[in-house]
Amino acid sequence: MEADATGSPMPAADPNASTAGTETLRRLVASLLVVRCSGHLSDGQRRYPRWELVNADLQRLLAAGVGGVILLGGSAAELRLRTRQLRAWAGSDLLLCADVEEGVGQRFEGASWLVPPLALGRLHGEDRAAALTLAERYGRCTGREAAALGLNWVLGPVCDVNNNPANPVINVRAWGEDPASAGALAAAFVRGAQAEGVLCCAKHFPGHGDTSTDSHLDLPVLPHSRERLEAIELPPFRQAIAADVAAVMTAHLQLPALDPHLPATLSAPVLTDLLRRDLGFGGLVVTDALVMEAIAGRHGAGEAAVLALAAGADLVLMPEDADTAIDAILAALADGRLALNQLQASAERRRAALARRRCGNGSGNDGGDDGGERRPLGILSNGPLPEDRALALELVQRSLRRRGGATVTTAGGGLNLIRIDGALGCPFLAATAPALAWPAQAGLHTVLLDGAGPSPWRDGNGGPLDLERLGDGPVLLQLFVRGNPFRGSASGQEPWPAVIQQLQEANRLAGLAVYGSPYLWESLTTLLDEDIPAAWSPGQMPLAQAQLLASLGLEPAAAAAAGQGAPAAATDSRTAAVPPQGPTGFTD
């Protein structure tokens, strides 16, 4: 037996002590990671295998202590089974989240799919009280359904102010085009959702609304002063924090006025100084997905995770490689780049958030973190609850705009010309979707423009449509256009104003339907002849399609008999004269 410096005998070293300490430290680090998986149960059903872990790796990482999972895809019924499975694999408290900015049905079939938040931002300018009530109901619906299916963390609301109509990725996802509406409505959503026992996440701090670059593809630069941030970008986050939002998600963008070297996600001046100190936020700070090119294109999987934690993030979302990230964080602890007490504080904030989730809610449910197992079995077993169906319909009807002639005339056939971002990952356009099925019943032949087939343009993307190749007869033009990750544009950069003029000059435009971007709608309605029937909905899901097409007179008799009659759509006499407001498959 050896002696210590005082000469007293020392006990023999325990060979398992260092191993146990290393294992404990590794689990601590792993608890700060959130990895991605499919909502489907089997590996063969994964839609995005580049980002979604196979079950063997997922089970291994959860057993090793990884603290959270973000899910995408599958049905509501599958999600309920999947979340139970993940909890069993983890054997401990687990954050389970999803990007359900437009209701749980946006990502998981069978739940409520609601209109994008910007619809309420526009209503807020007309009827503030109604918009705030609807925003809180929106949150209630989202939180109730998320909790019933085993999710405990909703990655919303978007607190970005969409004051840049050219924004390629925020667009209709924002709650407003000015700080007042964006902040008030986002806070109302937080109150509603968190009252149902889930955690919310305000994103993308300190504001991604005034960018023309998609951070999934490159690093945007926001060249604004601190004074400008205080006036426009920060107020919605202040209101969400005042509403006790549980988490804040970072933005992958550069703010030279705050940090000339690192993007916000990796910046201590942004996360520690601005968010923690100046805004007083004490909850969870989570990065946006580190696999996005704004970060992944400049930093490796390990270095990005280390820099994010050093900057003040608590949780690392979707590192390119979880094992690499864990190893890099451990190495940074060993060489002093990261402080152990900082990571312990992050782990404590994570535990506090989960404990808060388990403390109950105001919905009459038990509030236990049980993956929905003790929730009423009837919820979502036959689709959304009646009150949530009514909310979805009311939101669509209140936001629908209609102008022009009486109805679409399709005598003798013609074309149903549809533009979508891509045929893959297009859940709103199944074979039975009204945008496809209803014009077909009216005798129109569908031509789908998805960027994959031969070009529809006579002279590349800048020329008019090749009408001779597309076919004869009247044309119903349906444009599904909005801000979407990885698209790089909120309008497709296609010459739709020229198409409108071309079809009108040929006396072939039977009607126009725009789903999504209000900015495209407003730019096209100024060009329409007064007798051309046209309508816009911010939503793209089948419910929005049905209500819009019914307003244009394309509702089949069977649908009318089933009670899907034309709505009392708002007549949009103002949009032809009013310019856009402002100086709208992946986490983001």
Active site residues: 216, 288
For the chain, helix (H) and strand (E) counts, in that order, are 20, 16
Tokens of 402: 């209609």
Name the residue with tokens 């100024």.
526
Would you say 183 and 159 are in contact if contact means Cβ atoms under 8 Å apart?
yes
Q: To which H or E segment does residue 403 belong?
A: strand 401-403
User: What is the side-by-side strand order in the sheet with 199-205?
Assistant: 284-286, 247-250, 199-205, 153-154, 95-98, 68-72, 33-38, 316-317
Q: Which of 232, 130, 118 is nearest to 186 (CA)?
A: 118
Would you say 538 and 397 are in contact if contact means Cβ atoms under 8 Å apart?
no
Q: 346 Cβ partners below 8 Å, 6+ apart?
A: 32, 309, 313, 314, 315
Strands (DSSP E) found in 134-198? 153-154
| CB < 8 Å & 24+ apart, contacts of 369-372 | 369/93, 369/152, 371/80, 371/83, 371/84, 371/87, 371/96, 371/150, 372/80, 372/83, 372/147, 372/148, 372/149, 372/150
Burial (CB count within 10 angstroms: exposed 0-12, middle 13-18, buried 19+), residue 55: middle
Neighbours of 393 (CB within 10 A): 15
